[in-house]
Amino acid sequence: MSFHARHGDEPHCRADRAEAQGNRLRRKRARAGLILLLWLTIAAPAGADSLRLAFFNTELSRDGPGLLLRDIRRGDPQAQAVATIVAQVAPDVLVLSGIDYDRGGAALAALAAEIEKAGHTLPHHFARRPNAGLATQFDLDGDGRFGTARDAQGYGRFAGDGGLAILSRLPVETGRVREFSGLLWTDLPGADPPHLDGVPFPDAETFAVQRLSSNAHWDVPLRLPGGRVLHLLVFHATPPVFDGPEDRNGRRNHDEAALWLRYLDGRLPQPPPEAPLVVMGDANLDPQDGEGRRSALQALLSHARLQDPRPRSEGARAAAQTDGGANADHQGPPRLDTVDWPDAPGPGNLRVDYVLPSRDLRVTGSGVFWPPLDDPLNALLLHEGVAASRHRLVWVDVTLPRGR
């Protein structure tokens, strides 16, 4: 069985996560003076018409509600590492996943405060309750038990477990946000639902209440100078593993990417978003390697309205070579990898995190914050020996079109 992004939230995988963080990511921290000399290595875009867009799966989710806020307030080293990396990259717009939702936004505000202490201010915050941990009265995974984390609308041990959030220098047009999180899987045009022995899985009545989005799908407009709007199409898909012969998770993962295809193509009841826009999220799928159904993701990467800057890093290339294991059999360019997953038995390092701007936005730079071991900035991946995340922050610099 392969490991994917949410596997660290499951009890039987916590030891593996700790080992991966401890054995492969624990590095001797570079001297503070060297870090300061390189602090501005990643230069933020200049000018009012330029933006740095970033996505980061922080894996900050905790074991219960309120614990993330408690840990951040106590100076949690993982949260400190996340904040330091964000401040280093200095995005204008940051989409986060793996951050527990609370109705008052207290945990998100606390993390934003830590980022500000580290040197970067993002004053506008947005988050809504995800499907993760949203309880149902049904046995959605068909294992004969009710009320488990897998029986929620999206995998989660409590409501809000591992949600999505946005921190931005630009104001959020909250009144114009479109949510697709409540869309039933069966209502997606061209859906590929799971079947077993010729009938819907686990049964027709249960599948009829299953939402498509395992976490959230949002279209969040940000207010640009001059009254323009930038649409963020944000999501975090389920891993395409941890299921059975019906391939429930594999099919759902495929259709979560397909939702954005239908929206961009005008095949949903809501009108398609106007440009400029950017798709940002964790697809939990590599376009070439690992498990999963790739057709929807590949179509998204090559969509006529989007462009794929293919962010890369020298650290990812070096890690794949050093780590070996499953990486040796990968077909995709290792420099594009965005996550450092177990190498034996696999799936190894993969590209699963994406920032895809619309074609009217001119891309002026992109990257993945994954410094190689001999770069003093590599020390920022840890704080007090604790890794920020197995995922790496992905960023893209764009110049806005004029005269709109």
DSSP string, 197-230: TTEESS-HHHHTT-BS-SS-EEEEEEEPGGG-EE
Burial bucket for residue 344 (CB in 10 Å: 0-12, 13-18, 19+): exposed
| 280, containing H or E segment | strand 277-282
- What mean pLDDT do residues 136-144 have? 95
Amino acid at site 389: S
Q: Which domains does the chain have, with CATH numbers?
A: 5-399 (3.60.10.10)
Residue 130 or 45, more confident: 130
Could you report the per-residue pLDDT of 349-383, keeping only the tens digit for each? 999 999 999 999 999 999 999 999 999 999 999 98
Q: What is the pLDDT of residue 403?
A: 59
What is the pLDDT confidence band of residue 45, given thresholds at 50, 70 and 90? Answer: low
Other C-beta atoms lying within 10 Å of the C-beta of residue 345: 11
- Provide mean pLDDT across the span 143-148: 96
Over the stretch 154-182, which tens digit does the pLDDT of each residue have?
A: 999 999 999 999 999 999 999 999 999 99
Examine the pLDDT at 25 and tell me if it is beyond 90.
Answer: no
Q: What is the pLDDT of residues 327-352, one digit of tens each?
A: 999 999 999 999 999 999 899 999 99
Average pLDDT over residues 57-85: 98
Instruction: Confirm if 342 and 16 have CB atoms less than 8 A apart.
Output: yes
pLDDT at 18 over 50: no
Peptide bond into 272 cis (omega under 30): no
| pLDDT at residue number 402 | 79
Tokens of 291: 């498990």
DSSP string of 154-166, one letter each residue: BS-SSTTTTEEEE
CB 394 within 8 A of CB 355: yes
Instruction: Tell me how far apart the alpha carbons of residues 150 and 140 are, in angstroms, rounded to a whole number.
Output: 7
- Least confident segment among 86-100, 251-265, 367-381, 390-404: 390-404
Residues near 225 by beta carbon (within 8 Å), at least 6 away in sequence: 48, 49
pLDDT of residue 401: 86
Residue 343's nearest CA partner among 331, 325, 329, 330 is 325
Q: Tens of pLDDT along 189-212? A: 999 999 999 999 999 999 999 999
Average pLDDT of the chain to the nearest whole number = 90
For residues 307-329, average pLDDT:
96
The C-alpha angle with vertex 236 and arms to 297 and 329, in degrees rounded to 5, equals 50
Q: What is the pLDDT of residues 237-295, one digit of tens each?
A: 999 999 999 999 999 999 999 999 999 999 999 999 999 999 999 999 999 999 999 99
Q: 21 exposed, middle or buried (CB, 10 Å; 0-12, 13-18, 19+)? A: buried
Amino acid identity, residue 121?
T
pLDDT classification of 42: cutoffs 50, 70, 90? low
360, 12 Cβ separation under 8 angstroms: no
- Which CA distances in Å does 273 have to 63, 230, 232? 36, 10, 10
Closest C-alpha among 347, 141, 352, 134 to residue 243: 141
Query: Three-state DSSP class for 396?
Result: strand
pLDDT at position 384, please? 87
Dihedral of CA atoms 109, 111, 113, 115 in degrees, nearest 10, equals -140
Residue 151's SS3 state is helix
Q: Is residue 75 exposed (0-12), middle (13-18) or buried (19+ Cβ within 10 Å)?
A: exposed
Q: Residues of 357-376 as b/e, b for ≥16 C-beta within 10 angstroms? A: bbeebebbbbbbbbbeeebb
Q: Look at strands 394-399 and 50-57 and give their pairing.
A: antiparallel
Phi, psi of 190 (to 5 degrees): 75, 25
